[in-house]
Structure 1
Amino acid sequence: MSPVSRREADVRRILEQPQPPVPPELYTEAVRRGGRMMRRRTAARRLTWLLLLAAAVAFVVWMSVAQPWVEPPSETTPPLTGW
């Protein structure tokens, strides 16, 4: 018997056994924690989207003010030749 089929047989044996009863307090605690996790995930997702939107707006404002695609003015004069 290979290790994979042995593990599979063990899992099948465990699943075929009768399951122990779950205490009602455990169910209510799981529902409470699950709801809290869902609210935290939703808040984190919204905060992430808000930060992404703020970064995009800041980038667009910077691009419109700084205009990095425009060549900066020359700080030195070109050499005079041909005089």
Structure 2
Amino acid sequence: MSPPNRRDDEIRRMLDTPHPLLPAGLAAAATARGHRILRRRRAVHAALWTLLLAAVVTAIVLAALMWPSSPPPAEPGTWWPPQN
């Protein structure tokens, strides 16, 4: 077994002292703050997912509207050099 460490003794002395009193409503205030943070985070995530969904739907609609229904007809002579 190792010899006792001075820091360990100091820490034990600090932990053996009486703990300071906390305000009566501290736990309730911390819980309320945590609920507010979670509500805000959920609202932001929902808004971002909605925005992403709207962007995807918009991209699909634009792609469907702008997509050519058939390829343009090839003009004669565009693939081959003109004949003399």
TM-score range, shorter chain: 0.5 to 0.7
Alpha-carbon distance in 1 for matches of 2:20, 2:32? 22
Alpha-carbon distance in 2 for matches of 1:29, 1:73? 72
The 5-angstrom pairing of residues 40-55 of structure 1 reads 40-55=40-55
Alpha-carbon distance in 1 for matches of 2:32, 2:62? 45
Alpha-carbon distance in 2 for matches of 1:30, 1:72? 67
One-letter amino acid of the structure 2 residue matched with residue 67 of structure 1: W
TM-score w.r.t. the length of structure 1 is: 0.60
Looking at secondary structure, tell me which structure has more helix per residue: 1
CA RMSD of aligned residues (A): 3.5
Residue 30 of structure 2 is matched in structure 1 by 30
Larger mean Cα displacement after TM superposition, 22-31 or 40-49: 22-31
SS in structure 2 at match of 1:30: helix
TM-score w.r.t. the length of structure 2 is: 0.60
Unpaired runs of 5+ residues, structure 1, are 1-8
Residue 59 of structure 1 is matched in structure 2 by 59
Residue identity over aligned pairs, in percent, reads 35
Q: Which has the larger radius of gyration?
A: 2
Residues paired across the two proteins, number: 71
One-letter amino acid of the structure 1 residue matched with residue 21 of structure 2: P
